[in-house]
A = this chain, B = another copy of it.
Amino acid sequence: MSPRKSDSRERMIVSTAALLREYGAGGTSIDRVLEHSGAPRGSVYHHFPGGRAQLLDEAVALAGDFIAGLLDAAMQDGDDPVQAIDGFFVLWRERLVSSGFRAGCPVVAVAVETNDDAPQLARSAASVFARWQEALAAPLVRHGLTEQRAGRLAAFIVAAIEGAVIMCRVEQSSAPLDAAAAEIHDLLIHALRPSPH
């Protein structure tokens, strides 16, 4: 594969993720991806024989991996899970604010539509959420929580962030995410505190 071809493949996936974040799956057509990425039309089925569904799928996986990488790094740094989870909220807040509250989560964009013709999209979204939950749960277990409680908290944190990001976009304010961050922070401090007995 020539470097140029590989570039246009990568650019199309990055453009798809950017469009998903801002315009949702409904607003992410192949035409719009070509316009956004500047890739030649002929490259679509060359690079993505599965068409638009494959493009969405790869964008979800790329964005999911990118965020999982940031989360893993934060979770390993300093070994303070509360601080790391605070930082995960800060990351989402920055993504919202820097886009003027226009851009949300590309995984959610795909997850809110039932795609009977492309069931792999829901599976890809589920596997991103699972990956994030594992990254959140592992340090909570290392700090003494049971696997069950850590898993429950990890699912809850991902849910609270994803829901809050959606609310922030339509309210044009970070208040819902700040509310979730503050409540989760206090909850984690409480959950990780050594039992008094």
Contacts and interface: CB of A to CB of B under 8 A. Distances in A.
Contacts of A171: 126, 129-130
A96 to B, nearest CB: 12
A113 interface: yes
Interface of A: 22-27, 102-104, 108-109, 111-114, 122-123, 125-126, 129-130, 151-153, 155-156, 158-164, 166-167, 169-172, 175-177, 179-180, 182-183, 187, 190
Contacts of A125: 170
Contact of A155 (B26, B102, B155, B176): B176
A12 B170 CA distance: 25
Contacts of A126: 167, 170-172
Given A169-B114, A171-B126, A179 B152 contact: yes
12 contacts: A23-B113, A23-B114, A24-B24, A24-B25, A111-B166, A125-B170, A152-B182, A153-B179, A156-B180, A159-B159, A162-B166, A163-B163
